[in-house]
């Protein structure tokens, strides 16, 4: 499939998320004239992408409403198998994110969210989860014509429900917390708190 984007098109730039083509400008960079898409990303960030290379680096149109519904179905499924080796798991998830495939990004969000609820995540995987969520949310906001908060809540609710269905045997577990909130001294003397 070949894309030619126009000013105002809503597009996805892998690893950055969804944005809008603000303009198409000719720039002279290192003595070479080239046309660039000037893409306005969330938080007023602007990115320049060479028109001739846009498709090769994964720039694509945003998904439509029916595809957005399919993305939410990813959160209804149990996690996919991930390596127990942190480095391999990180590389595999990074490849999924670089693919620009929204379903793969949703898979990363679900899998890492489950892992965070079960055992917690390393600093690197926490950053990856945050980045994957930002990419996912930025596209779903445009596809669903919803606010960022609405999409974030929808994703979190779906993840919590699915985690509870597939992973939790004890209904007393707090799905919104994996943080120790009370310090209990090793000597068992809780009266000194």
For residue 178, is it within any domain? no
Q: Is 2 a member of any domain?
A: no
Residue 133 lies in a domain: yes
Q: Is the same domain home to 69 and 145? A: yes
The sign of the CA dihedral 69, 72, 78, 79 is positive
Residues 104 and 40 in one domain: no
The count of domains in the chain is 2
User: Is the same domain home to 53 and 132?
Assistant: no
User: How high is the pLDDT of residue 28?
Assistant: 92
Tens digits of residue pLDDT in 37-66? 999 998 788 999 999 999 888 899 999 999
In a domain, 17, yes or no: yes
One domain for residues 79 and 139? yes
Assess whether 34 and 83 both reside in one domain.
Answer: no
d(CA 30, CA 19): 27
Average pLDDT over residues 81-98: 93
Q: pTM, whole model, 2 decimals?
A: 0.82
pLDDT at 181 over 80: no
In terms of domains, do 163 and 125 share one?
yes
* Cα→Cα distances 183→120, 121, 187, Å: 18, 21, 12
Query: How much is the pLDDT for 125?
Result: 95
Same domain as 124, residue 99 = yes
**Which pLDDT band, with edges at 50, 70 and 90, does 86 fall under?**
confident
If asked whether residues 125 and 145 sit together in one domain, one would say: yes
Q: At what angle do helices 65-74 and 148-167 cross, to 10 degrees?
A: 30
| Host domain of residue 104 | 65-167
């Amino acid at each position: 499939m070949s894309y030619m984007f126009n000013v105002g098109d809503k597009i996805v730039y892998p690893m950055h998320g969804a944005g809008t083509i603000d303009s198409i400008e000719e720039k002279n960079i290192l003595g070479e004239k080239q046309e660039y898409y000037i893409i306005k990303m969330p938080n007023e960030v602007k990115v320049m992408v060479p028109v001739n290379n846009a498709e090769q680096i994964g720039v694509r149109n945003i998904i439509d409403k029916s595809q957005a519904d399919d993305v939410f179905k990813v959160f209804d499924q149990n996690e996919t198998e991930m390596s127990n080796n942190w480095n391999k798991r990180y590389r595999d998830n990074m490849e999924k994110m670089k693919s620009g495939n929204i379903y793969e990004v949703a898979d990363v969000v679900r899998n890492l969210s489950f892992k965070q609820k079960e055992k917690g995540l390393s600093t690197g995987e926490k950053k990856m989860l945050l980045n994957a969520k930002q990419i996912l949310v930025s596209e779903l906001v445009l596809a669903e014509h919803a606010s960022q908060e609405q999409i974030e809540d929808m994703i979190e609710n779906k993840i919590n429900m699915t985690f509870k269905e597939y992973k939790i045997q004890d209904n007393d577990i707090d799905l919104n917390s994996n943080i120790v909130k009370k310090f209990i001294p090793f000597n068992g003397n809780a009266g000194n708190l």
